[in-house]
Structure 1
Amino acid sequence: MAQAVSRIEREFIMKEFVENELSFELNHGQLQYAAKFKGFNEKQLHVDIDSTSSQLPDAEDNVDIFLRFRGQIMTFRTQVLERSNGSLTLAPPRSMYRDLTRAFRRVIAPSGVSIEFQLNEKVITLNYPDSERHELPQAPKVNLGFDASKIANLLASFRSKAAEYSSENKVIMFRSRTPDSLPEKLICDTGRMLVVPSPKNLGELVSDNTRDRTLLETDLQRLESESPSIYGDVRRQLTDYAGTLNGKSLLYELYCPLLFHQYVVGYLYLMQGKSGKALSKEVIEYVNEFAKVLVYSLNLNGYFEIREELPAYQDSELVDMSATGALFTQAAAGTPITLYSQLQLKIKFESRVLETRARVMRKFKDRERVYLGVRFTGLADPDFQELHKRLYGTPYEADTFNTGSDENDRQQGY
């Protein structure tokens, strides 16, 4: 997995390239240039291009930089601020990455290429918020003391047990309303449990069984990075929200989503006053297991009006593409697609259509669009060669910035 390079290390690497006049590769669409850094500061990077070509990037164009430093390939994307004879002034990178999982560079919105996609399986359609997680309703594997056949008895057992852990507890359903508060929106978008304020030892309180179902600091950082228009300062917002709880003499609130397939149909709510016990691993394990049992019981008793359909092909807006994967968007109201779903793609050129399977490896969103990063999993060799030539202008050969064998390269993607 790609790793972010720290600011201090980034500056050290840039300094090494300047002082030792090291070459790197600058990419713009299908065009590749050998280049060298001539200097940098907090506001600008100065680059000399080793090319007599007149097709240099213009101001406001995005470019990709690939550096090889001490045996590792690193990359960042930035914008051209100014172009002059044989040189470019670039904006400094906000981030740089190493240990790239993509063996082929991305081409930003390649001209004349479009993608249509279709989910390879029937989907459950419900009028509830859909999250980035997916969970099938399943009968409890062990006897937890819950009677899943009778919802009333199940809810009564929850209220009795949860009273041992909390000052107040509720089961909230989204059948007749939509998420409103920040905690509700967070658990609906992520499908993960939220504790406010998050205790410093939360990472120690989650087990292997609950870690993927709990919003941790790393998840919040990812939301800020991937969905800045929605969650750009979510950690500060949660800190402010936690401050209101402190004013009410509350120790914590816990929100545990009820996840049916990818839909958050409601949540379990526990609130603990300052005179109560601190959050424990036992509490997290209990609400996690009860949430699963309750969803199973609701489905068993016909609570959901389920519609199954095989989605039609949908148009997308292509963001970027490599020879092994692509990033594209769909409307937020489109068919809900979860991580690791299998898609069927049509990659369209002016005079040819390439068809391949693809698996969703990344998913994030802004206020209007959902972004899907996919890895191609069924592209035939002739089609792969054709795609490589269309994107990069040359047939496929092991090049400077491919780091593995042909087979390994083909397996890389988002």
Structure 2
Amino acid sequence: MMGTPVGRVEREFVLNNVAEKKISLRVHGYKKTRQAIVLRIEEDVLVLYNDTEGWSDFSAKEEIRVFFSYFGHVMTFPSRVKSADDYLSIEIPGEMIKNLQRKYERIALPPGTMVSFAVENITYELTFPKTEEYNPAEQPAYGDAFPQESLDKLMAGAAKKISEFKANYRIQMFRDRGPKGWEEEIITRTGKSLFVSPIKAGVPKTDPDMSGRILTKAQALAPEYNINLSELLGSEAELDERFSQLSDKDIVAVIYCPLIYHDYVIGYIHVWSEHVTLGIEVFEYLYQFSKVLVYALKNHAYFDNIERQKGEYAAEILDISASGLLFTHTSRELHERLVLYTDLDLFLRMGPRKMVIGSRIMRKYQDNKQTYYGCQFLDLKPEDFRFLFDSIYGRELTPEDEELWEGGAEPPKLTFT
């Protein structure tokens, strides 16, 4: 956030005044905004009130940003929702910014967004779909149960075992494409397996083996996982209908098991049966096989090959706005290549749309572990800009957006020396 940080004492003073004087706040969630006032301040919570629209589309743990005008200063702070019912309870902010100096508000990277860029003919992949689970790709304790002399023998052994379950299988890798369709998207975002057996029963309401590895119905319908999906599933009935359609195709049971490398889903194992239901022992085998397969791919230089061919970096994009983005990486090579004012083409994919954006490195700073790079968008087609704005903020661009800066602040004054 570009602006002036507010110290702890001043921050507490400002929050108390905001509550006492009923100063209007603008609460920004993902693709939504609300006007509110502070109803009360509790020990570690701000309780906000809105007398018109309510808070039904906000959810616990959702990241938000709050803007307000305070005696001529537009100020902002980030927070997290603790509960949303008649009132919105949010965490007391640990930081606050005034004197905002950014054209558009930056938000966390929308799910399903992929970005890469080219520097001196080397392409650096910035984000594959990240997930909430983590696999260190170390040798599994049960690895001896699988033939690992070669990838061919490992795959042949898995094919034989799965056939004994009277099931079919395939493996889909995300090396050349991202997830498509609801099933791929949901296992990617959650990092959990989709286990539906029998099909007519639908997604289970509770985890069948109580391990936390299998997706439940509540998780499948959680708003934070369904954001930006082309096939938004808004109800339990819609979810059940999706699998009843598979039943019409004579599919009796299905399992999607993600292949997780560190905190990225690199692909998945898809198993289905047209003859018998699949028990929990089938899922357990697939889960173990997924760990062994990822470890084998690592040992057979699968990820090294990607790095040599594409210059891939598992960098993290911290946030994005309609005018730029911020990413970070630990690579010394990248640190040396990307100097201030380096021009580069960003390749941004949001859902089905791919955009090429001429950009420039405008900020660069380090901490003990990594380097941060702030990119400004310079060359973006008007139709791509409108799509980007709507995808990020959930609304169309207005004349006010063009005239004012982040949070409704006046543009900073230009000085010439």
Query: Residues 244, 300 of structure 1: CA spacing in aligned structure 2 closer, same or farther, 3 A cutoff?
Result: same
- The answer to whether the 8 Å contact 2:169/2:272 transfers is yes
Larger RCO of the pair (alpha carbons < 8 Å, separation 6+)? 1
Q: Could you tell me which residue of structure 1 aligns to residue 271 of structure 2?
A: 270
Q: RMSD over aligned Cα, in angstroms?
A: 5.0
SS at match of 1:260: strand
- Which residue identity does 1:245 align to in structure 2? L
- How do residues 81-160 of structure 1 correspond to structure 2 at under 5 angstroms? 90-94=52-56, 97=82, 102-104=91-93, 111-112=99-100, 129-133=128-132, 134-160=134-160
SS at match of 1:62: strand
Q: Matched residue pairs, number?
A: 269
Give deviations 1:194-248, integer Å, cap 9, x for gaps. 134565656342343xx1x4322332243x2465443753555533321210111
SS at match of 2:172: strand
In structure 1, what is the Cα distance between the partners aligned to 2:24 and 2:39? 17
1:157 deviates by 1.0
Give deviations 1:174-201, integer Å, cap 9, x for gaps. 3344433321222233332113456565
Q: TM-score, length-normalised on structure 1?
A: 0.50
Query: Residues 93, 73 of structure 1: CA spacing in aligned structure 2 closer, same or farther, 3 A cutoff?
Result: same
- The answer to whether the 8 Å contact 1:168/1:270 transfers is yes
Q: Could you tell me which residue of structure 1 aligns to residue 194 of structure 2?
A: 194
Q: Which runs of 5+ in 2 are unaligned?
A: 1-12, 28-32, 59-80, 107-123, 331-364, 370-388, 394-417
Q: TM-score, length-normalised on structure 2?
A: 0.50
- How do residues 371-386 of structure 1 correspond to structure 2 at under 5 angstroms? none
- Which residue identity does 1:154 align to in structure 2? L
Query: Residues 228, 176 of structure 1: CA spacing in aligned structure 2 closer, same or farther, 3 A cutoff?
Result: closer
Give deviations 1:63-114, integer Å, cap 9, x for gaps. 2544579x99673464xxxxxxxxxx5433326845978344886x855277
Query: Residues 111, 309 of structure 1: CA spacing in aligned structure 2 closer, same or farther, 3 A cutoff?
Result: farther
SS at match of 2:268: strand
Question: Which of the numbers 19, 23, 41 marks the counterpart of 1:33?
Answer: 19
Give deviations 1:307-363, integer Å, cap 9, x for gaps. 388899978459xxxxxxxxxx957xx5699xxxxxxxxxxxxxxxx99899xxxxx
Q: Could you tell me which residue of structure 2 aligns to residue 250 of structure 1?
A: 251
Query: Residues 199, 314 of structure 1: CA spacing in aligned structure 2 closer, same or farther, 3 A cutoff?
Result: closer
1:281 deviates by 2.2
Q: Could you tell me which residue of structure 1 aligns to residue 295 of structure 2?
A: 296
1:136 deviates by 2.0
In structure 1, what is the Cα distance between the partners aligned to 2:314 and 2:258? 26
Query: Residues 148, 203 of structure 1: CA spacing in aligned structure 2 closer, same or farther, 3 A cutoff?
Result: farther
Q: Could you tell me which residue of structure 2 aligns to residue 282 of structure 1?
A: 281
Q: Among all aligned residue pairs of Structure 1 and Structure 2, give the percentage whose two residues are the same amino acid.
A: 18
1:297 deviates by 0.8
Q: Could you tell me which residue of structure 1 aligns to residue 47 of structure 2?
A: 75
- The answer to whether the 8 Å contact 2:195/2:255 transfers is yes
Query: Residues 72, 61 of structure 1: CA spacing in aligned structure 2 closer, same or farther, 3 A cutoff?
Result: closer
1:150 deviates by 0.9
- Which residue identity does 2:264 align to in structure 1? Y
In structure 1, what is the Cα distance between the partners aligned to 2:173 and 2:320? 34
In structure 2, what is the Cα distance between the partners aligned to 1:285 and 1:181? 25
SS at match of 2:206: helix
In structure 1, what is the Cα distance between the partners aligned to 2:256 and 2:296? 20
- The answer to whether the 8 Å contact 1:135/1:260 transfers is yes
In structure 2, what is the Cα distance between the partners aligned to 1:253 and 1:336? 38
